[in-house]
Each structure stands twice: as structure tokens, then as C-alpha cells.
Amino acid sequence: MPLMKLSFTPVLLLLALSCPAWVVSRSLPLTPSGQMTDSCVFYARMLLENVTNLLAPDDPVVVLMGFCKLFVPQGSVCSGETTSAFDRESCLKDIGTDLSYYYNVLSSQPDSDGTLGSSVLLPLRELMENCFSSSLTDLSSKEASVDHSSTNGFNQRKLLCKIMKGFHVRTITINRAIGYMNLGEHTN
């Protein structure tokens, strides 16, 4: 009997110590709310491609060379290494707010041929549903209202073009931020 007690204790100790290690090694990592995943990068990239193609699929891209040298204030260093604090939660909240705003504004625009809905609103909605679920509550609470009766077709298209160009720039920024957070560079 003492031999059994002697061998039972180490086995019990080994079992107790190995079970939590096994559970931890087998479990999936907990992701904080709003974690950027590869699917978020995919949805953001698809949205950017669709907005870019919708705006001007055949127009040449203008690249500004030497932009940094032209607009640098005196005494600043453009290519110097700087450190800044990155507030991830604030960034995610602001991106969600922007997506919600543009969804409301764009969904209130007339879309007779359905191009805006299928190429922009659908990918925008998918990005919001899969990566920024908190921004979905803003959709029902705020509706953008645009008076279409006072403008003619040309002015409506001109307004939509201005909105889309602003959204295009914002989509580029959102894409970069999501990629940055997905790589985990902000944690270094």
C-alpha cells in the first residue's frame, strides 16, 4: 500500500501540471475586440479596389514626386525617425465612425443602375459587419439625409463624385491602418 501511495502522488502531480499546459497549448488565442485579422485586410483591400475602379478605371495615376521637400516647414526633418504613441482603440473607433458615416451618406445617394450598391455599399457593409461591428449600431441611429429634389442630375453626379473622391482617400488611409494593425507593428 505505501508503494501505491508513493507512486500515486507523482502521477497525480504530473497529471495536474500537464493538464493546464495541454489546455493552454490547445486553446485558441483570445482576440481583443476589434482585432484586425487577415479577413479584415481582405475586406478593406476589396473595398479600396472597388472604389478605385468605380472612380476612374482608365485614368492615369498622378504621382507627386518630391512632395516632402516642397511642403516641409522650416526646421523639420521629413525622413528623420520619430516616435509617436499609437492609440489602437481610438483608431478603431474612428475608423468605425468614418465607415458608418460614409455608408449613411452613400446609401442616401440615388443609384439607378445599382453600381454604387454592388461595388461600394456591399463591400463596405461586409467590412463593417466583420471587423467593426460596433459601427453597425450607428447605421440605424443616424441617417444621412440629402435633398435630391433641389438638384438636377448633373449636380447629383458631381456631388457623388466629390463624396467618392473623399471616400477614396479615406479608404486608402483605412487600408493602411488595418494593414499596420494586422502586422502588429504598433505593438513593437
Q: pLDDT tens digits, residue range 11-67?
A: 655 555 555 444 444 333 333 444 567 888 898 999 889 888 888 655 554 444 444
Nearest alpha-carbon partner for 32 in 117, 125, 131, 113 = 131
pTM of the model: 0.61
Q: What phi and psi, each to the nearest 5 degrees, are found at residue 146?
A: -125, 130
Q: pLDDT tens digits, residue range 88-122?
A: 888 888 999 999 999 999 999 888 788 888 889 99
How far is residue 44 CA from its own chain's centroid? 6
Q: Determine the average pLDDT of the residues in 134-138.
A: 63
pLDDT score, position 139: 56
Pairwise CA distance, residues 20 & 161, whole Å = 58
